[in-house]
Homo-oligomer: A and B are copies of this chain.
Amino acid sequence: MGRKRTKSGKIRLAEVAELAGVSPITASRFFRNPEALSVAKRARVESAAKELGYVPNLAARALASQRTEVIGVLIPSLTNNVFSDVLRGIYDASEGSRYSIQLSNTRYSILQEEKLLRIFLAQKPAGLIVTGIDQTAESRTMLEAADCPIVQIMEIGPNPVDMMIGFSHYDAARAAIAHLFAQGRRKIGFVGARMDPRVQRRLDGYVSAMKEAGLFEQRLVVTTATPTSVTLGGALFTDLLAREPGIDAVFCANDDLALGVLFECRRREIAVPEQIAIVGFNDLEFMASAVPTLTSVRTNRYEMGNTAATMLIEAIDGRRPEQPVLDLGFKVIERQSSSSRRSDSRPALSGAGTANKMIALPSSHD
């Protein structure tokens, strides 16, 4: 009737309250803390809201409450498969919660990250997820001064800003090399692209393992700042072969490179694993399907994103985790590409099928 309406005809909380026969503030409480209402009023407000199709105005809520329900996420790349999985975990965890995700791409630049952080923080996010542990000093200061929970993801390191979830890329690389040693490989090359901090730590792990075995040689390492790709894997491997034709294994900083190395081997008619073993990193879905199947280091990417967002939301709601730093670990998934020379010189048909079953990863869904 004479009911006041916003020009656009939107339903406001006041309308809901009027229909429910309560004050606006009571209706407001229904949405934030239903338990505070009596059962009768709760039902009345609920049905009134449903009847009118009420949707809260987030801008008004943010302005009045001096905080937003936005979780900021800073990741270095949108195309990297690794981050797709992490993101999916984050988005899945945010659904059903009242928080929404605001995503920004730092493009592997900590300066860009600092800039984005400043913008995010100005909007008072409810929480923040940042990638890695290599922020600028300025970023670090801002993060520590921020009055919202923060999760650092992708790796584990000392001095967490707040919470931290990831794994040790250094240890993972060492485990991969240990695996190759166990298979009798000695002259192991390293192939890496992009060389972001995490790839760098994988290289560090490789170097330390090789040095411990007295096998390290600088010319076994081929890296580039160029973004990774399958094609690049072949090119870097070609470089590696030119420098050191006698290698008997290649540890690739990621699976795309490993696939490129595999294709290059096929092109050069180098037998895998007989002549050269290949180990990748991340255990993307295709690794179990390749011929031969490719060994990789499995990382829990989906779980990392999902747990990070879940922990963050819990912390925002005042339930801080008992364990603020979580190591999700890794696992070397041994497949044909790095098996000992003596066993199956030709991969058995059934081998692939078995391997496929072994790696039914959550990250292969969706």
A residues 92-141 with Cβ under 8 Å of B? 100-103, 105, 107, 118-119, 122-124
**CB of A363 to closest CB in B, whole Å:** 8
A352 contacts which of B58, B227, B267 (Cβ < 8 Å)? B267
Residue A310 is within 8 A (CB to CB) of chain B in the complex: no
A63 touches B59 (CB 8 A): yes
Given A8-B66, A62-B59, A102-B102, A107–B366 Cβ distance below 8 Å?
yes
B285 touches A263 (CB 8 A): no
A63 contacts which of B63, B81, B88, B107 (Cβ < 8 Å)? B63
Given A78-B87, A263-B291, A286-B259, A55–B118 Cβ distance below 8 Å?
yes
Contact with B along A145-185 (1 / 0, CB 8 A): 00000000000000000000000000000000000000000
CA distance A166 to B142 in the complex (A): 42
B230 touches A286 (CB 8 A): yes
Query: For the side of the interface on A, what is the size category?
Result: 35 or more
A78 contacts which of B105, B285, B352, B366 (Cβ < 8 Å)? B366
Given A63-B57, A63-B63, A100-B102, A263–B234 Cβ distance below 8 Å?
no
Given A59-B63, A63-B63, A118-B55, A285–B107 Cβ distance below 8 Å?
no
Main secondary structure of the interface of A (DSSP, over half): helix
Protomer copies: 2
Residue A340 is within 8 A (CB to CB) of chain B in the complex: no
B58 touches A60 (CB 8 A): no
Residue A47 is within 8 A (CB to CB) of chain B in the complex: no
| A58 cross-chain contacts in B, Cβ below 8 A | 59, 123
| A363 cross-chain contacts in B, Cβ below 8 A | 79
A229 contacts which of B79, B231, B285 (Cβ < 8 Å)? B285
Residue A189 is within 8 A (CB to CB) of chain B in the complex: no
Residue A356 is within 8 A (CB to CB) of chain B in the complex: yes
**CB of A252 to closest CB in B, whole Å:** 14
| A8 cross-chain contacts in B, Cβ below 8 A | 66, 124
**CB closest residue in chain B, given A293:** B263
A79 touches B85 (CB 8 A): yes
Residue A216 is within 8 A (CB to CB) of chain B in the complex: no
| A233 cross-chain contacts in B, Cβ below 8 A | 289
| A107 cross-chain contacts in B, Cβ below 8 A | 366
Residue A365 is within 8 A (CB to CB) of chain B in the complex: yes
A231 touches B289 (CB 8 A): yes
CA distance A123 to B50 in the complex (A): 18
List 8 interface pairs A-B (beta carbons < 8 Å), by A numbering: A58-B59, A78-B91, A79-B84, A79-B85, A102-B102, A227-B364, A230-B290, A263-B289
A contact residues vs B (CB 8 Å cutoff): 6-8, 10, 55, 57-60, 62-63, 66, 68, 77-81, 84-85, 87-88, 91, 100-103, 105, 107, 118-119, 122-124, 227, 229-231, 233-234, 256, 259-260, 263, 266-268, 285-286, 288-291, 347, 349, 352, 356, 363-366
